[in-house]
Structure 1
Amino acid sequence: MHTVAEVSLKYSSQKSYDEMPIITSPEEAAQFLRSIWDTDTIELREEFYIVLLSNTKQVLGYSKISTGTMTGTLVQPITVFQTAILGNANSILVCHNHPSGNLKASGADIQLSKRLRDAGKLLGIEVVDHIVLTKESFTSIKECGLF
């Protein structure tokens, strides 16, 4: 007889729903992201975060998915959605920074947004936006009509 590992999933929120911020606009998203971002690294290297949202767009939590270089970071959709599923998210907000201060979404940014959007549709987890954050400002890739 073979012994295999048992897999179990657990989720426990540290705060009540009433204490969790609600994100319904790119401006609210940027404000929340600035509250969790390490300001000492925003101009140093690209990082990619996801914010887990409930069906009422309340923040359930967030996770740093990857840290890269001055010009890019690698993001695997499987890691993004593994985190979303384990965190019991109904939808997600994704974000990365541009250390250069350039607010324009790159071709790779747009392609990743579409890939995540399509994967989310299959799983029933909406990608509500992809924010590009800089030290001074932000861009909503969705609001620009790019995904």
Structure 2
Amino acid sequence: MKNKVNEIIVSYKEKQAISKAPTITSSLVAGKLLYENWDKDTISLKETFKVLLLNNSNKVKGIYELSQGGITGTLVDLRVLYAVILKSLSVAVILAHNHPSGKLIPSEADKHLTRKIVKAGNYFDVKVLDHLIVVPNGAYYSFADSGLL
């Protein structure tokens, strides 16, 4: 008798030409793009973690919403994060999450998570360019600009 197993299919589909995608040249460009694509109805209510996926020219391949949490936190599963990064064949990423409180200071948990994601990225040759904290008024905090990356 032949054993049956599930077939696994990995795919990534571009709906718009990558040549027309925005290029990330600074935290300002990334912060503005992320804020424009954040749900304004929930940005001041609950934390959400997103990843901006980039090609080797820092062109945006897409934004993936990894998790939604509560008022003061959200869970980030590194296995799911890197499954998305690798599946999309991204070579660099910008991490982002919001602080509904409007506070632009990273917590120790934010710093620890960032270090953990950077360390994992080193194994896959995926560069973590920045981690942004976005707040409801559109302001942001950049880990890279603050020397934390």
CA distance in 2: counterparts of 1:56 and 1:104, whole angstroms: 30
AA in 2 matched with 1:68: G
Please report the RMSD computed on the Cα atoms of aligned residues, expressed in angstroms.
0.9
Task: Measure the CA separation in 2 of the matches of 1:28 and 1:87.
Answer: 21
**In structure 2, how many angstroms separate the alpha carbons of the residues matched to 1:98 and 1:70?**
8
TM-score, normalised on structure 2? Answer: 0.95
1:62 equivalent in structure 2: 63
Aligned to 2:131: 130
After TM superposition, give the deviation of residue 8 of structure 1 in Å.
2.3
- Other structure's SS at 1:121 match: helix
Unaligned ranges ≥5, structure 2? none
Residue identity opposite 2:24 in structure 1: I
What amino acid sits opposite 2:66 in the alignment?
I
Give structure 1 regions of 4+ aligned residues with deviation exceeding 2 angstroms: none
Number of aligned residue pairs: give it: 147
Cα deviation, residue 143, structure 1: 1.5
> Is 1:29 paired with 2:21?
no
Which segments of 5 or more consecutive residues in structure 1 lack a partner in the other structure?
none
Percent identity over the alignment? 33
Distance 2:46 2:9 in 1: 35
1:15 match? 16
Other-structure match for 2:144: 142
Provide, for residues 31-78 of structure 1, a one-character-per-residue CA deviation record: whole Å limited to 9, x for no partner.
110121001111100000011100000000111101011111111111
